[in-house]
């Protein structure tokens, strides 16, 4: 009788599901990682090639890193890229923080889901569609105002960086305990005092993570920048695209390797911050 009951319990107990235990999961994961990262290996290796060939190894050298460092066009494009990414990511993070507070630290209201969808809309729409729309809009504005400065690039990068900054900030807010904020309100703290002394210190890892993610996205963008920029406003990615259309040298490999290293470093920091958020 006891054996029958034990058998019944084992049959009725639901089996735990684990993706890692599925047949072929490990092999498929390895194939995916190889397809993703294998092309990066020759890119980095041939950035140290002493010759001009991208297919034949002619010895180890830092020649192309030195050439890229001394190239005035690369210097200008790098400074412009850092300035653009820094400005756009800071503005986008401030707006994303306000949007996250407005969609989490409030009672549910009609249209909240629509607002959430609209904030994340740039993640769903193909980037080329956003780029063409911004091109048409800014072309009309340029005709009326005769302004051709960096403001258009800053606005464009800010717009598509907002959802990338918004997601980690919102995730942090949703994981925060409201007890301390409620206690501050009970002690007659104003909303600004509660935000400055309680919410912001707890929220800063999410804000920093959103800022870095927005910075990387802006720094690496090509499509929107290529269509929105005016003459003489090349960023580092668009400069590299122009070089690839002319003559391909390992200098492009060197620049790509540096960009790869910066992106990996930023994403790694974001990962550790995200772990701290959780």
**Which of these CATH numbers, 2.60.40.10, 1.20.58.100, 1.10.287.3510, 1.10.3720.10, describes 79-246?**
1.10.3720.10
Q: How far apart are CA 199 and CA 169, in angstroms?
A: 12
Is it the case that residue 84 has pLDDT exceeding 90? yes
End-to-end CA distance of the chain: 47
For residues 124-130, average pLDDT: 87
H/E run at residue 9: helix 2-12
pLDDT-derived band at 80 (thresholds 50, 70, 90) equals very high
Token couple for 113: 């889901």
Taking CA atoms, 101 is separated from 96, 170, 172, 276, in Å, by 9, 8, 11, 20
Tens of pLDDT, residues 222-261: 899 998 988 888 898 888 888 777 777 788 888 888 888 8
Per-chain mean pLDDT for the chain: 82
Q: What is the DSSP string of 102-171?
A: HHHSS---TTHHHHHHHHTHHHHS-HHHHHHHHHHHHHHHHHHH---STHHHHHHHHHHHHHHHHHHHHH
Is it the case that residue 12 has pLDDT exceeding 70? no
Share of the chain above pLDDT 90, in %: 14
Residue extents of the structural domains in the chain:
79-246
Tens of pLDDT, residues 17-38: 666 666 777 788 888 888 888 8
For residues 47-65, average pLDDT: 83
For residues 139-163, average pLDDT: 89
Orientation angle between helical segments 72-104 and 63-70, nearest 10 degrees: 80
Tens of pLDDT, residues 194-207: 888 888 888 888 88
């Amino acid at each position: 009788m006891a054996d029958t009951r034990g058998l019944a319990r084992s049959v009725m107990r639901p089996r735990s599901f684990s993706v890692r235990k599925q047949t072929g999961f490990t092999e498929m994961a390895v194939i995916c990682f190889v397809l993703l990262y294998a092309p990066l290996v020759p890119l980095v290796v041939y950035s140290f090639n002493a010759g001009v060939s991208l297919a034949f190894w002619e010895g180890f050298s830092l020649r192309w890193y030195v050439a890229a460092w001394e190239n005035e066009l690369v210097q200008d494009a790098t400074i412009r890229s850092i300035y653009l990414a820094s400005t756009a990511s800071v503005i986008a993070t401030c707006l994303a923080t306000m949007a996250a507070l407005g969609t989490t630290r409030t009672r549910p209201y009609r249209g909240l889901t629509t607002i959430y969808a609209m904030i994340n809309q740039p993640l769903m729409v193909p980037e080329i569609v956003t780029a063409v729309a911004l091109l048409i809009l800014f072309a009309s504005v340029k005709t009326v105002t005769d302004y051709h400065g960096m403001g258009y690039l800053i606005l464009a990068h800010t717009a598509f960086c907002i959802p990338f900054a918004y997601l980690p900030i919102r995730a942090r807010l949703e994981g925060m305990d409201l007890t301390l904020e409620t206690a501050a309100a009970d002690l007659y703290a104003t909303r600004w005092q509660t935000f400055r002394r309680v919410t912001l210190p707890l929220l800063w890892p999410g804000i920093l993570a959103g800022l870095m993610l927005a910075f990387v996205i802006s720094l690496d963008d090509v499509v929107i920048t290529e269509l929105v920029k005016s003459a003489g406003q090349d960023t580092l990615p668009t400069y590299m695209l122009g070089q690839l259309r002319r003559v391909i040298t390992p200098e492009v490999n060197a620049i790509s390797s540096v960009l790869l290293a910066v992106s990996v470093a930023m994403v790694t920091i974001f990962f550790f911050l995200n772990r701290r958020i959780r």
